[in-house]
Amino acid sequence: MRLHETARVAGIEHTLIGRVTRTALGDETERTNAWLLAEGSALACDPAGYLGILAIGDAAAFSGLRGAFGLRQLSYLDDGDVVAVDPNGLVRTLYRRASMHNFILVTDQCNSLCLMCSQPPKAIDDFDRLAEHLRLLDLIDPATKELGITGGEPTLFREGFLELIARCRERLPSTALHVLTNGRMFFYRRFAEKLGRIAHPDLVLGIPLYSDVDTRHDHIVQAHGAFEETVLGLQNLDRHGVRVEIRVVLHALSIPRLPQLATFIARNFPFACHVALMGLEMFGLVHRHLDELWIDPADYQRQLLAACEVLGDAGMNVSIYNHQLCVLDPELRPLSRKSISDWKNVYLPECDGCALMSECGGFFQSGTKLRSAHVRPVGRPQTPSNGV
């Protein structure tokens, strides 16, 4: 499946963003926002008034028309999906109506540089992407259940970030919005207050916290002072009525004080609506820091169990992500969520015959090389017997 590909373009002087349609549209304004799909040499209707054409076939068949031509396949696109076409021929799918995993990657910039970052930031100026994001929000189907806002660090757009959230509230009031942010900008009370004032009806900020000790958190995110900004940011967000989720990535640096971190969360952030304890994703920077980060999940079940007990006792809502069920302590399996999105996960030969496979998230494609040494098929619960 390709969500980005290159094509020959005609008549594209700046990036054009539109909704895909296979059939003729009656409304004139809708036509100006729509890409007409052509899978053969025939079009569903007269292309006049449409944003342009996306075609598998050669441009020759559509001479004089605006669009992208010679695409390898279009079958993954459905009516209502949103596609951008750049003047250089890049065709990008920004939104798929049928997917539960749509997100806006606001920026590639970040003010942290986490040792295990799966999406390493770039030192670029990409603030001009705001217009594209706002345009996308205008085109997304308002019936969309969930939308992610991520980065990089989306709050680096400052007022632009607030504008995005405000636009979501206005255009997509029934779409649950999940923002991934390091929360550091909310150290500034005015910023937290402004976000609170937008009063988005279904907004959660997922904010990572890796240690109860400032220096350890700062080391993991490679930013001095980040702990202070994040913990006070969490408090400021709660003060202004913004819901937060706390996300902890489990690795050799966060595991040793995981139970203490759980206590710290329960004591200082009891208002967090969710705590996500997440297995390491084998993407991006993590490979550079494996010596420092890698720990076999089978070797941290004791700490994970203790942390879940502390959080559960405090009445907090806890989930475990990115773990194979066979490696999790059986007591923790009910907390496990199948978070790896369905087009990414794979299983191993060892998984054959496992009774838990249908409930298990399996592996990221990239995570099958370095993985727990304890992956094994789990049988149906046996009748307990006496003796060994």
Partner 1 sequence: MSPYGLLPFRFVRFDAARTLVVNEAGEHQFLENDDFTRFVQHELPADSDSYLDLKAKHFLFDSESLAPFELLATKYRTKKAFLEGFTSLQIFVVSLRCEHSCVYCQVSRVSADRVRYDMTEETARRALDLAFRSPAPQLKIELQGGEPLLNFERVRQIVVEGRRRAAEEGRPVAFVVTTNLALLDDDMLLFFREHGVFLSTSLDGPEELHDANRPRPGNDSHARTIANIRRAREALGHDRVAALMTATRRSLQSPREIVDEYVRHGFTSIFLRPLSPYGFALRSARSTGYPMREFLDFYVRALDHILELNAAGTFLVETYAQLLLTRMLTPFTTGYVDLQSPAGAGIGAVVYNYDGDVYASDEARMLAEMGDTRFRLGNVHRDSHESIFGGATLRTIVAASVAESIPGCSDCAFLPWCGADPVHHYATRGDLVPHIPTSDFHEKNFFLFKHLLSLYERSPGARRIFASWIRSGDAA
Interacting residues with partner 1 (CB under 8 A): 212-214, 225, 227-228, 231-232, 235, 257, 260, 263-264, 266-268, 270, 312-315
User: 54 has which bridge partners?
Assistant: 37, 68
Closer by beta carbon to partner 1, 264 or else 294: 264
Q: CB 158 → partner 1: shortest distance, Å?
A: 22
Please, what is the minimum distance in Å from the beta carbon of residue 183 to partner 1? Answer: 13
Which C-beta is closer to partner 1: that of 79 or that of 228? 228
Using the minimum distance from each CB to partner 1, give the nearer residue, 86 or 228: 228
Looking at the Cβ atoms of 151 and 233, the one nearer to partner 1 is 233
Whether the bond between 206 and the residue before it is cis, its omega within 30 degrees of 0, is no
Residue 212 or 245 having the CB closest to partner 1: 212
Q: Which DSSP string do the residues of 132-164 spell out, in sequence order?
A: HHHHHHHHS-TT--EEEEESS-GGGGTHHHHHH
Query: CB of residue 274 vs partner 1: minimum separation in angstroms?
Result: 17
Q: How far apart are CA 198 and CA 103, in angstroms?
A: 20
Give the nearest distance from C-beta 26 to partner 1 in angstroms: 48
> Looking at beta carbons only, is 273 or 346 nearer to partner 1?
273
Least Å distance, CB 225 to partner 1, is 8
Whether the CB-CB separation of 96 and 39 falls below 8 Å is answered with no
Minimum Å gap between C-beta 129 and partner 1 is 33
- Sheet strands (E) in the chain: 4-6, 8-10, 16-21, 34-38, 52-55, 67-69, 82-85, 90-95, 103-105, 146-150, 176-180, 203-208, 243-250, 274-279, 318-321, 345-346, 363-364
